[in-house]
Every structure is written in C-alpha cells, then in structure tokens.
Chain A
C-alpha cells in the first residue's frame, strides 16, 4: 500500500504506468469483487473492472493524499457503476433480465433452491438479493470492514443513513433466512 502511495508523487507517464500496474496488483481483486456484488455477473464484472482501472489511470492527477488509494479507487468504482446503470447497454439488456428475475414464479424457484444449499451459500445469496442501497452498505461494512463513518465519507451519505440501512438490512436478511426455514 505504501509502495503505491509513494509512486503517486511521480508525474511522468512511465511511472504512472507502473503505478497502474501496482494498483491492479494490490486492488484488482477487491475491485472486481465489489463490482460483482453490484452486477452479479462474472463477465460484466471483469469488463467493468478493467474500465475502472483505465478511468483511474486517467484521473491519477486528481489523487490527493487525504484519502487512501483504496478509498479513492472504490469511489471511482462506485461512480463508474452508476454511469454503467445509465448506459444504453444496461438499459437494454440488464433491466430486461431483472424484470424476469423479479417475477413471482422466479422468486419461488430461487427460494426453493436455497433449501438444498449450505448455510454460506444461503447467506451470500440472501445478501445478493438485497436492494442495491442495502447490499452496498452491507458489503462495505461486513466484507471490507469499513466503519460507518468511513462508508459515509466514501458514499457521501450521512452516517445515520448508513446505520439505518445496516439495521434495515439485518432485518431483511433475518426475514429472508427464516422464511426459507419455515418452508
């Protein structure tokens, strides 16, 4: 991490290029995982991750040392995902898929599939089923282990909003998991 941060002091193109290389070594995996929790599709997550690092490269001059490289990259990733949601591709293809997934018949199917799954799989799937705003906060808090304060800075939302979302997410998950048990 320090290595990467030291690098940002260099301005020449070749050292920026090396910096990108370093950033991908350190955070490529973390970014791709985050993006996966957004898009829930392996191939799309790969494409978006590459685009995010290219964006980061072009924005290197905006990096300020108040934030860690990781926080900075996560913010770029979140913004890039928002742009992706607005894109033509997403509207044409993914929304159609979502629509299909949201029909009741499908919900039942998914829940039935949960029955035979391990506890880990049930929990992961339940989290992935949360609406985006809750899923994101849950991921940043429980997986990346950021504090509610850090998450509030990163997402530029009030810390109380973050706490409320976490509470609500816990309730939603409890319901989801107990529904399956009672079936």
Chain B
C-alpha cells in the first residue's frame, strides 16, 4: 500500500509555503515589544511630551517618531497605543474624548501621579546601575 501522504513536505514547500515567510521586519516588531529598556524609554518620553500640554495619540506618536526615529514605529504604531493604555490604567495619564468639528478625538493629559513617576524615573536613570537592576528584578518578580 503506497502512502498518499509521502510527498506532503515537498507539496507544501512547492505551493502554500512559498508565501509563508517569517521576515526580518516581523522579527524587529517582536523584539521592540519585549525590550524593557526601550519600552521604559518610550514611557519616559510619553510622560515628558505630556508634561505641559494635552495631546492626541497621533501627536504623541509623531513626537516619539521625531525623537527616536521612524523605523522603530513603522507598521507598529499599535504598540504605542498599548503603552498609552497601560499608562492610563496606572493613572499616570488620563484621556478624554473631545468634540472637534463633529468628530470625536481622544486627548491625553498627564496626572499628578504621572509627574511624580517621571521625576522618579529620571532620577533613577541618572544612576544607570540601579535603573538596570530595577528592571531585571522587576521582570523576574
């Protein structure tokens, strides 16, 4: 009895898998999302950019792109919104829907807790060693 499935590997490689490609770009996107130092850097920048003005998510994103470099956010804008959401749930920032010529736009502003947090991490960052230890300890726990 010959096995009808014998050539499965060859058949997949020659057909459907020709379009399955794990790309460098996917790799980069994945790495950015787990890089704690980079995430922390972005967190600081969001708090800084909101320190004395209210901004939309789009404006925050543009500000980050200017400061960090576009390629980090290319096709990965979603990760910034996830971070904004996290900061909001920690009550570092708050958001509010406002009417703009009939369109609803979400504005973000910083809270006192966020200002305190910013001063705290800026101090921490002044002392690089404790900054790293804090993170590594934090991740394990």
Contact = CB atoms under 8 A, between A and B. Distances in A.
A24 B22 contact: yes
Interface in B1-52: 3-12, 14-17, 19-22, 26-27, 29-31, 33-36
Nearest to A122: B11
Interface stretch (A25-33, A74-82, A98-106, A150-158): A25-33
B6 to A, nearest CB: 7
B103 interface: no
A123 B8 contact: yes
A12 B133 CA distance: 10
A42 B136 CA distance: 36
Interface residues of A, number: 43
Contacts of B10: 120
Contacts of B26: 28, 46, 49-50
B11 A121 contact: yes
Interface in A127-182: 127-128, 138-139, 142-143, 145, 169-170, 173-174, 177
Contacts of B140: 11, 61
B5 A124 contact: no
Given A120-B11, A124-B11, A12 B136 contact: yes
B81 to A, nearest CB: 16
Contact of A33 (B7, B17, B135): B17
A17 B16 contact: no
B15 A29 contact: no
B27 A24 contact: yes
Tell me the dominant secondary structure on chain B's binding face: helix
A73 interface: no
Contacts of B9: 142-143, 145
A120 B7 contact: yes
Those 9 A-B pairs whose CB atoms lie nearest each other, nearest first? A28-B22, A142-B8, A123-B11, A120-B11, A124-B11, A32-B22, A120-B14, A124-B15, A29-B22
Given A58-B34, A120-B10, 10 more contacts: A12-B136, A13-B139, A17-B34, A46-B26, A118-B15, A120-B14, A120-B15, A121-B11, A127-B8, A143-B8
Interface of B: 3-12, 14-17, 19-22, 26-27, 29-31, 33-36, 135-136, 139-140
Interface of A: 11-13, 17, 20-21, 24-25, 28-29, 31-33, 36, 42, 45-46, 49-50, 53-54, 57-58, 61, 118-121, 123-125, 127-128, 138-139, 142-143, 145, 169-170, 173-174, 177
